[in-house]
Amino acid sequence: MAQKYARGADRVILDEKNAAFLAKVVTFAKAFEPYLPPVKAITSMRNLTLLALLLGLCAPLTAQQYTFKHSSLPCLNKTFTIVVHVFPDSLGRFNMTEATVRQALDNANPFFAPICARFEICEFRYHENWQYDTLRRPNEEIPEITTKYNVERRINLYLVGFFTYPYDECGLTEIGGIGNPVSSYIVLRKDCINARALAHELGHFFSLKNTFEGSGVELVDGSNCTTAGDGICDTPADPYVPGEPLPLYVSPQCVFINQKQDATGKYYNPDLGNIMSYYQCDTCGFTWGQLTAMAQAYLASAIKFW
């Protein structure tokens, strides 16, 4: 059943661990009170959650544990339907379960709740063409696949065993595919079926780029944020270069350790928890700018998805 979101609705679900965490946020906020804009009822759950996000303190708070709606964000009030296409390997094994895919999507949905959007699977389609389980020429094979199997005005998610790409990617998605209801696609490896990977690819589908787009072109102070990097001004500049080992950038404790500097000599400090980054740290979600961009991409599309 499609779930409706009312504009301005706020819902926060907390366990004891997160209640203790938010108590720390209160203490932290009081220390910074002279530098923060006035906040009414700072002890309210909604304001504490928003404050935690704004201060970058989201580590213990996962998308499954909180959902908030900011009144300044567009509210799409929309459920998007997904058709999942699965190809077998050469031995006829599909190597996935429907329950795993549904659980990953359920866990990804709260990331999109701030713009009143959610996703549900309308059907699984199992295709017998095992050659497409391994894509060695994605640029040629994906157009073949979408021509043969795409369902119009649905988000078509293709699960494959492997694909050849310059780097070890989990998925391939047409950026801005929400504006192409006929031949758009999301391709996801079967060993990457999880909430973060799925939310990341859906982010691309709704126009978002990786936070490291340009690999160091965006300046740390954000002065060229509209023309460099991912084009989103509230995501910090990210110097990651695709293909480079992540340990060059992040410690096992998820501390950014890379010493790269931008063109002005300033050190980078990217958001390690952003869904559109490649850092495998605690997932915080999307920024206000990213959420706005996704909503606008849908609203600007000429033909709407069902």
Q: Which of 118-122, 166-170, 229-233, 287-291 bottoms out in mean pLDDT, i.e. has the lowest?
A: 166-170
Whole-model pTM: value is 0.78
Write down the domain spans for the chain: 11-67, 78-208+286-300, 211-285
Fold of 78-208+286-300: Collagenase (Catalytic Domain) (3.40.390)
Give tens-digit pLDDT for 107-151: 999 999 999 999 999 999 999 999 999 999 998 999 999 999 999
pLDDT of res. 305: 78
Q: Which of 30-44, 185-199, 276-290 bottoms out in mean pLDDT, i.e. has the lowest?
A: 30-44
Give tens-digit pLDDT for 155-165: 999 999 998 87
User: Would you call 303 exposed, middle or buried from its count of C-beta atoms within 10 A (0-12, 13-18, 19+)?
Assistant: exposed
Is residue 6 over pLDDT 50?
no
Give the model's confidence band at 244: pLDDT under 50 very low, under 70 low, under 90 confident, else very high.
Answer: very high
Token pair in block for residue 49 = 């959650």
Is residue 40 over pLDDT 70?
no
Largest CA distance in the chain: 65
Contact 188, 201 (CB under 8 A): yes
Rounded to whole angstroms, how far apart are CA atoms 17 and 75?
30
Give the residue from 125, 187, 198 showing the smallest Cα distance to 161: 187
pLDDT of res. 61: 40
Give the residue from 30, 23, 91 showing the smallest Cα distance to 60: 23
Block residue for tokens 């429907």: 98
